[in-house]
Amino acid sequence: MSNCASAADHAHALINSQSRGTVLVMVAWFLASLLALCTVFRLICRCRSHYAPSLSIADDIVIVAASLCGLGVTIVISTAVDSGLGKTGCLLSWGQLEDIQIRIFASTILFVLVLSISKCSLLMFLHRVANNTLQRVGIMTIGVVVLIWMLGVLTGIIFECEMPRPWEIWTGKCIPMVPFWITTTAIDITIDLTLLILSTHMIWLKPLTTHQKTTATAILSLRVLLILSSAIRLAYLSPFFSPTDPTLTSTPYTILSQIQSTLSILLSCALILPPLTGLTTSSPPHHRHAKHWSGSTIGTPYEAYQPADPFSSRTCIVAQAPAHVPTRAHDEDFILPERVRVPPRRPEPPCERDRPDLSMFRKTTVLRECRSMPSVGKGMV
């Protein structure tokens, strides 16, 4: 009761030792604004980028679905704060505690969906970057693991407490919550670490420059932040399920969960950046064609060379890279030269002394005057 009595002294303070709900709302809506801006930026880049044909509409659907779930987490947490989340338990009624548990239950389901859907975005990207069948099989295997993990965690959330009130994580009869979430978080960290290692390995096998490989690896390595946030979240797992005052001590865990879900969506939006979209447009020829046409120039990328004669160099550019050549083929097995943005300048005509003598090929026609011939009948008389 002494804590509640001291809380009355700070009744007009938004943030005090007995009430931290304002911090939750501020962090939640800041992350929601950042999430909305990055999602809109990603969609604008998708529509205006000339790499857009290499991206499927499924990428946009996945990003939008993950963003909607992330915004749903923010809205649910905000309503939970209105019900009393972030305040000490002695300031809450039994009905308020019931409402908070229902909203925490809903936000946890949305949190798991955000993590799973954002991983699907990276898996789709890696499937396009894959060079061979073995890599594609590995990516599909990880996708199956992500699906099983999502279904397993959602099933555990729904049946973690006694029916028909599975949301009573603080007041009901539930399974051991801390070991359950330690196990699920450890599997999530393992999946993120596997995706990080696999993506780095695939990038460094691509026929790119060292600068391109380093830039792409640096962007994908930001996934380490997800791993760190998951590890830090484990440290605040026990206070979240504390039987003494969970509505107050759960504040750090709730904030870290929102940070992790927002980071996962932001990293999915970062896959539209040019250093990463360039990986999907520079795929090598198909294996069966490379094997069939080995030792020939058919099916190999166009490589320009510098001849000794500058005049012949200009002629080769005009002949081999016209401005109307398409840059993409309908079949990925065909490789066409890149489009020339500015048509090459037409070579200057040679001077008169450099022109060949073509007089021998000119035929001279001589026209002679025809004389009138006497008729045969008149000459014989």
Q: What are phi and psi of 174, to 5 degrees?
A: -130, 170
pLDDT digits (tens, 9 = 90+) for 32-78: 999 999 999 988 887 776 555 556 788 889 999 999 999 999 999 99
CA-to-CA distance for 293 and 350, rounded, in angstroms?
A: 41
pLDDT digits (tens, 9 = 90+) for 202-246: 998 888 888 888 999 999 999 999 999 999 999 999 888 877 788
Lowest-pLDDT choice from 111-120, 163-172, 358-367: 358-367
Domain locations in the chain as residue ranges: 13-279
Phi-psi region of 84 (alpha: psi -120 to 50; beta: other; left: phi over 0): left
Mean pLDDT of 240-260: 88
* Token pair of 15 as six digits: 């943030």
pLDDT value, residue 315: 46
pLDDT value, residue 89: 77
Mean pLDDT of 303-312: 48
133, 156 in Cβ contact below 8 A?
no
What is the band of 367 on the pLDDT scale with cuts at 50, 70, 90? low
Question: What percent of the chain shows pLDDT beyond 70?
Answer: 72
CA-to-CA distance for 48 and 45, rounded, in angstroms?
A: 5
DSSP label at 296? S
pLDDT value, residue 369: 59
267, 118 in Cβ contact below 8 A?
yes
pLDDT value, residue 194: 95
Q: Topology of 13-279 in CATH? A: Rhopdopsin 7-helix transmembrane proteins (1.20.1070)
What is the band of 304 on the pLDDT scale with cuts at 50, 70, 90? very low
pLDDT digits (tens, 9 = 90+) for 162-181: 888 889 888 878 888 999 99
pLDDT value, residue 362: 72
CA-to-CA distance for 278 and 300, rounded, in angstroms?
A: 19
Residue from 286, 123, 304, 145 nearest 199 by CA: 123
Mean pLDDT of 289-304: 50
pLDDT value, residue 336: 57
pLDDT value, residue 318: 44
pLDDT exceeds 50 at position 267: yes
pLDDT exceeds 80 at position 10: no
Q: Hey, is 362 helix, strand or coil? A: coil
pLDDT value, residue 358: 77
Residue-by-residue DSSP string for 187-253: HHHHHHHHHHHHHHHHHHTSS--HHHHHHHHHHHGGGHHHHHHHHHHHHTHHHHT-SS-HHHHTHHH
Mean pLDDT of 258-279: 88
Question: What percent of the chain shows pLDDT beyond 90?
Answer: 39
CA distances from 146 to 113, 122, 142, 190, 270 (A): 11, 12, 6, 11, 21
pLDDT exceeds 90 at position 141: yes
Q: What are phi and psi of 87, to 5 degrees?
A: -105, 160
Write down the H helix ranges in 236-343. Answer: 237-240, 246-249, 251-269, 274-280, 287-292, 310-320
Question: Dihedral of CA 346/349/354/358: which sign?
Answer: positive
pLDDT value, residue 305: 45
What's the chain's average pLDDT? Answer: 79
